[in-house]
Structure 1
């Protein structure tokens, strides 16, 4: 069978105050075109359909239309909730999804069978899937209680809980003569961060070893890390990555979807199909003179300016580079003494004197900034 694996759409994401809904529509339209060209038997959307747990009406419209368009390609479609999604809100859409022929799982439920999806391809290949939405640490304890684990098992770590849940589900779902699949949304140890993930859900107690996945799985379709990559494990474990760069930290990623060919008696073969519809993100460095000569095309820019800090510098850069969404001073331009300077003693000194000393310590001794401070301080006091 052929699978199209995608994740981390983050519809509704705003980049430095700029909405990107038009770009997200174009990206998802290209994903639909890839599905039409590839004609997969199954499409997996492995979480983070939205960027926020309270998506706007426009974001909801984009996601539901994209899911409907993917289903109309003729493929079976399974989508799960990620850590950015509101699981119960996704589950509230299940009546719509079921009427459209879409399998949607937003949150972990009490019944094991809720998370076991089965199907048969047009060619007669039977597949079975564990669909496990994002599981928070707090909910992991509740989940193990729902699955009636022992007290000893309930006091184990997050990774232990995930491993136990997957083991219970695999025992229910997998068979020797079927294509056995897993989709979930989490961080696997050894995976490379894409650059725009939510740190609280990628590090420390949320990272699990690849050994949590059953060895008889033919393919594990992951969401959460935004860089397309395969993680070593007891079975093929894969992040499809995001189909567009979510933030400037992801500018070096190659947005794509994964196309997987797999059968019950053959190792999964994966290839990436690039998604190019989004506007590129680019980080540039330079003096004002160097930036003036820059041709960045249509990319959105993060600019590190190699000039001494002064009032109005940001506005000069943005007038020069209208597509600069973020302007910062290059850290190389800040004096090393700024990090180690002694704290100013406030006793007997005016706010203006303290602020002037602060600016000097930061290498930002600019008269216009001092004048602005004095004026604002005078107005409020």
Structure 2
């Protein structure tokens, strides 16, 4: 049996204010081609299908088209809900879906597999939707359910108990933060409380393969426990992480092989750094002109209208950051103390500039200009 493991589609997510639906549609169309070309039997989507609990109508249309495209290849689909999804909205139409498309959102179904057979017999696929302890503890009130670790551990106990009765090959799907992963700062929404909600790798003992979701970068925790990551880059912090899916093959004995299938990147991400003038003129940045750009300009002081100016060279500049180099050391003075210690109006203006420039006061040329303006104003007031 060939299984394609994908996750974290985040349909409806924006990228620095830019819609991603069209880009994601193209990537998912490429995924459908991979399913057909590799004669995939089952496609697993391990949570965070949508980016929000209340997605727009166009998001549902994209999901419908993607699921229909996969099903048209002859592959079955197993989808679980993630922490971004509304389990109710994602699952309410599951009974109406065509045969071969399975949406698992109900925690009461944990431990009840979707059985799909190949020439070697049945494979039990156990979907575990995202389990919020506060929402599922009333289903399992005989167990302590304070953390997500508690919830996932109990879910896997149910999986192993059922598997002990059924026997044979098996796959588990979970959406969680497993021990040993590297998260992308600011990308994966926090679902931990300190270290208590980190799920130990041993929690997933038993199944032949465990398909995880939540982390946006490809990661291998063991030969049989992996994250596939998101199909699109949703942050500049993900720029170096490949996009794709795991192709998993089960033989009669269990896990036979895994391989990585790259997905196309509609527009690559580049971070460029230099003074604003360098970013606008230096030929070394030419390769970034057709990429999504994070521009970090290093001028000592903020420059006027940097985004508008950068867009003239980088039409897909998504964000601009002022990251000056060679800043003066922090003198520890608060703004109010600087103001109190100012002996005249020139020093008062200098104190304000030091505050807004994070420690860098007026230059000699600026001091001369400030003094000239203040002297002119003083003279005008004296003659009035």
TM-score (normalizing by structure 1): 0.84
1:301-380 alignment to 2 at 5 Å?
301-314=293-306, 315-337=308-330, 340-345=332-337, 355-363=352-360
The answer (yes or no) to whether the contact 2:302–2:322 under 8 Å persists in 1 is no
Q: What SS does the aligned partner of 1:170 have? A: helix
In structure 2, C-alpha distance between the alignment counterparts of 1:364 and 1:80, rounded to whole Å: 55
| 2:238 maps to 1:250 | yes
Query: Which residue is 1:116 aligned to?
Result: 113
Q: What SS does the aligned partner of 1:238 have? A: strand
Query: Which residue is 1:201 aligned to?
Result: 191
User: Larger Rg: 1 or 2?
Assistant: 2
Q: What SS does the aligned partner of 1:180 have? A: strand
Query: Which residue is 1:210 aligned to?
Result: 201
In structure 1, C-alpha distance between the alignment counterparts of 2:361 and 2:311, rounded to whole Å: 20
Q: What SS does the aligned partner of 1:43 have? A: strand
- When residues 334 and 35 of structure 1 are mapped into structure 2, their CA distance, relative to the original with a 3 A threshold, is farther
Q: Which residue, 216, 221, 230 being the options, matches 2:220?
A: 230
In structure 1, C-alpha distance between the alignment counterparts of 2:269 and 2:192, rounded to whole Å: 23
RMSD: 2.7
Q: What SS does the aligned partner of 2:242 have? A: coil
Per-residue displacement from partner, 1:312-365 (whole Å, max 9, x unpaired)?
Answer: 152333333222110111253544427x33242477999988744522544375
Q: Which residue, 106, 129, 135 being the options, matches 1:133?
A: 129
Deviates more, 1:291-300 or 1:28-37: 291-300
Q: Which residue, 288, 296, 321 being the options, matches 2:276?
A: 288
Query: Which residue is 2:24 aligned to?
Result: 24
| 2:235 maps to 1:262 | no
Q: Which residue, 218, 239, 248 being the options, matches 2:227?
A: 239
In structure 2, C-alpha distance between the alignment counterparts of 1:73 and 1:129, rounded to whole Å: 20
Give the C-alpha shift of residue 54 in structure 1. Answer: 1.2
Q: Which residue, 177, 180, 187 being the options, matches 1:187?
A: 177
The answer (yes or no) to whether the contact 1:130–1:170 under 8 Å persists in 2 is no
In structure 2, C-alpha distance between the alignment counterparts of 1:264 and 1:175, rounded to whole Å: 18
Give the C-alpha shift of residue 290 in structure 1. Answer: 2.9
- When residues 129 and 288 of structure 1 are mapped into structure 2, their CA distance, relative to the original with a 3 A threshold, is same
Per-residue displacement from partner, 1:73-104 (whole Å, max 9, x unpaired)?
Answer: 1111100111111111111121332x353100
Deviates more, 1:353-362 or 1:306-315: 353-362
Question: Can you give the 5+ residue segments of structure 2 that lack an aligned partner in the other structure?
Answer: 371-384
Give the C-alpha shift of residue 112 in structure 1. Answer: 4.6
1:50-89 alignment to 2 at 5 Å?
50-89=50-89
Question: Can you give the 5+ residue segments of structure 1 that lack an aligned partner in the other structure?
Answer: 372-381
Deviates more, 1:71-80 or 1:280-289: 280-289
The answer (yes or no) to whether the contact 1:144–1:161 under 8 Å persists in 2 is no
- When residues 195 and 272 of structure 1 are mapped into structure 2, their CA distance, relative to the original with a 3 A threshold, is farther
Deviates more, 1:181-190 or 1:352-361: 352-361
In structure 1, C-alpha distance between the alignment counterparts of 2:207 and 2:251, rounded to whole Å: 11
1:141-152 alignment to 2 at 5 Å?
141-145=137-141, 149=142
Deviates more, 1:169-178 or 1:125-134: 169-178
In structure 1, C-alpha distance between the alignment counterparts of 2:191 and 2:26, rounded to whole Å: 28
- When residues 304 and 143 of structure 1 are mapped into structure 2, their CA distance, relative to the original with a 3 A threshold, is farther
The answer (yes or no) to whether the contact 1:184–1:223 under 8 Å persists in 2 is yes
Q: What SS does the aligned partner of 1:259 have? A: strand
In structure 1, C-alpha distance between the alignment counterparts of 2:185 and 2:260, rounded to whole Å: 19
The answer (yes or no) to whether the contact 1:10–1:246 under 8 Å persists in 2 is no
The answer (yes or no) to whether the contact 1:91–1:104 under 8 Å persists in 2 is yes
Query: Which residue is 2:15 aligned to?
Result: 15
